[in-house]
Structure 1
């Protein structure tokens, strides 16, 4: 049953991951509000959240919430990778401070960045990546392979 206990468990299991998703993609001051919006959507649409793919569903919803948020605020160039705080000891956030990583990621398309970040930083498997992207598992594997190749080609020598 999708009651308050279900939502409390969803919150405990996934709120931090969703928050970090936004922290890596949006101005830090917006991450909490955006996370709350995703969680509120999960509560309102709890019947639509697949039991076997809760986190991918939340990431997909987060992508929509972030896109809507970006349309409401001052436009950010697509090539801009947000600065990330490095004071919390998260090596994934610290990687954004690396000039080579920022340069290579900025050279990629938004879709390639999304695929790489969901896989490498959010830890999504091929099946979960396919769920978030709304494509087949084979399509997700192929997209990840192409994105990795483009990243390697864009990496500064």
Structure 2
């Protein structure tokens, strides 16, 4: 299934292929890849490992995949955003994201998240959930800025949700 890139005002969300995810895990950019300082990070490696495992177990996830966050003006990859897999039995997809330290604080994560939430809605999800560590208020602000509501918290995580 061919999934198109998603353009926002300042970003391009590039849908990752299996081959690209494998290169990220190997830490070996392809000839056309422009990786920013600190990319891929540990979170990108974890996310791409899960993406490859999900493709092996369930096949291509369509729109509910990982996307590389690229700066639109330069094409440089500065992070990733995407789904942990297709929506669950209730139609809810789980989201994750991360940016390299050098570009945090510019609103890129909220911009990317808003675009991916709309993508999930258009692809038929009933809602999207995400969580962040209790001691990560910047990530809480990202989800809130994208329209997700804080719905629960425990000693480790704050949980967010947006229904469609």
**TM-score of the two chains, using structure 1 as the length reference:** 0.30
Q: Which has the higher helix share?
A: 1
Q: Which has the higher strand share?
A: 2
